[in-house]
Amino acid sequence: MQIAAGEFKAKCLQLMDRVHQTHERIVITKRGQPVAQLSQFEQPKPRPVLGRLRGTVTRVPDASEV
């Protein structure tokens, strides 16, 4: 769906509810040119705490071990 910026301004809250319910994407235009889009917010998946640093730490031998 496309909507002009002036109309979007007048109907913003209604359009936000519509996007939330239908997951529809709305393109906002200014003078016929797309300038922004309104879409459903995707909550990022939480990263697991355990194992988060796995593979990022390197053990360097101590001088007495060499």
pLDDT tens-digit map of 13-61: 999 999 999 999 999 999 999 999 999 998 888 877 777 777 787 778 8
Give the C-alpha separation, 3 to 39, whole Å: 13
Residue 28's pLDDT is 98
Q: Name the pLDDT band for 64 (thresholds 50, 70, 90).
A: confident
The reported pTM is: 0.64
Distances from the Cα of 26 to the Cα of 6, 11, 15, 19, 37, angstroms: 14, 12, 8, 8, 6
- Residue 47 in tokens: 């990263």
